[in-house]
Amino acid sequence: MSVTKETGRFHHGFLIVLACCAMSLTTSITWNTAGIFFVPIVNELGMLRGSLALYLSIVSFTTMLFLPIAGQLLYRFNVRKLLSLFVIMNAVTIAAMSACTNVYHFYIAAVFLGMPQAFFLYIASLTLINNWFDKRAGFFTGLCMSFTGIGAILFNPLGGYIIATLGWRAAYLAFGAILVILVLPPVALFIRKHPSDMGLRPYGYAESTAAKVEKGLRDTGVPISVAVKTPAFFILLLFLGAIALYTDMNVYYPDYATSLGNGVAIASTIGSASMFGSMTGKILLGLINDKSTVIAILFAGLTGLSGVALLTYVGPHNPVFLLVGAFLYGIGHATAIVQSPILTKKIFGTRYFSQVYSVVMMIYSFASAVGQSLWGFIADANGGSYEIPLLMIMGLAVSFTIFGISAYILRKNVPQKDTSVSLSAIT
């Protein structure tokens, strides 16, 4: 699979995949391990969990504001050097959080986490994979994004162990070192913006008639100026807002498990369970989307709803169901990564995809910024109970299912411009 038919040699695109998988680990540590730090930090520094979680909202706001700048930087500058610089920024900031002594230090650090995540969470891997692969670009994008879950599965128990034995400050230092060791080398060595930079063509270039058709379909779609005038655009924004708030609950599950009287082992493992579910969900949703986008959205919504119901009603009586519920919740969590770009492409086409996607994901980032602290503040206002947030999360699972399917159905009303291929041909 990794050998091109044209040359019989290993294709550099697979090293791009390796580097993109590594970049996803920055997201794992920045976002998906945040929850295991809440209890020890709150206990040591004496702050409200909602106040601490506000730093994640600042990360999201910074990412949202930096997205258009990141897109321009990615276009204008040497991508290998640029992404290496932001890997270093991400790693140094994580390590520096070990020195935080009050909540405002976390808020300052959040700004320097948000800028790198504009690249690593949203646009870098998507751009590079699309540049380097004419064939199976969707599969490799999903593979790279699944490493956010793989990283969480590995780093949550590791971080929990370090916190239990050496403290939360040592865990931040260790995570910073991990990013330098695991992410920086492949990014600095292998990243190139285009195959032409190395005298190559994209993997799978014109291998088949189907590939040529797919290449032609890249020129279909509508610009953002047309997209914003359609009902589908606003329903898509509602879908993104609902899924953003749904996914934000993930960082609170370790604290939720602790509030039920469980120890550090369960509290750290519940994060891994949800991320394992997310990783599994990315693969399953990718496969289901090949058959039906509607069924994929419905599957994610119902599975996520079932998971949160287990967490809420059965998990408090049996810790095993906390892990099962977190796993099922994680499948719904995968919707954010898998369905967001798929829906955007299927509704508005591929010709102006980057333009439209960067705008709608700013809305996603804004909603995520709200949710990162919202659930903590609601829990604080109810004596540390997560009952109300969990009930709201179940409602959001139903909401993003309805909005996602509705937006997909409304794609038929989107006027196609600059295209010689009908929308039905794309879907």
Percentage, residues of the chain above pLDDT 70: 91
Q: Measure the CA–CA gap between 146 and 331, rounded to whole angstroms.
A: 12
What is the three-class DSSP state of 232?
A: helix
Please indicate whether the domains covering 1-217 and 219-427 agree at the CATH topology level: yes
| pLDDT, greater one: 323 or 426 | 323
Determine the pLDDT at residue 45: 94
Of 1.10.579.10, 1.10.10.350, 3.30.230.10, 1.20.1250.20, the CATH number of 219-427 is 1.20.1250.20
Select 1-217's CATH number: 1.25.40.10, 1.10.10.350, 1.20.1250.20, 3.30.365.10: 1.20.1250.20
Distance CA 174, CA 221 (A): 45
**Region 367-378: what's the mean pLDDT?**
84
How far apart are the C-alpha atoms of 95 and 179, rounded to whole Å? 10
Beta-bridge partner residues of 153: none
The two three-digit tokens of residue 91, written as one number:
């790693």
**Distance between CA atoms of residues 421 and 423, nearest Å:** 7
Alpha carbon distance 170, 43 (integer Å): 16
- Structure pTM? 0.73
Give the 3-state secondary structure of 320-376: HHHHHHHHHHHHHHCHHHHHHHHHHHHHHECCCHHHHHHHHHHHHHHHHHHHHHHHH
Using CB atoms within 10 A of its CB, is residue 76 exposed (0-12), middle (13-18) or buried (19+)? exposed
Instruction: Give the pLDDT confidence score for residue 416 in this predicted structure.
Output: 64
115-153, pLDDT tens digit by residue?
Answer: 999 999 888 887 888 788 877 776 787 788 888 878 888
Joined tokens for residue 63: 């990412």
Query: Is 167 in contact with 98 (CB distance < 8 Å)?
Result: no
Give me the residue spans of the domains in the chain.
1-217, 219-427
b/e sequence 355-394, b meaning 16+ C-beta within 10 Å? bbbbbbbbbbbbbbbbbbbbbbbbbeeeeeebeebbebbb
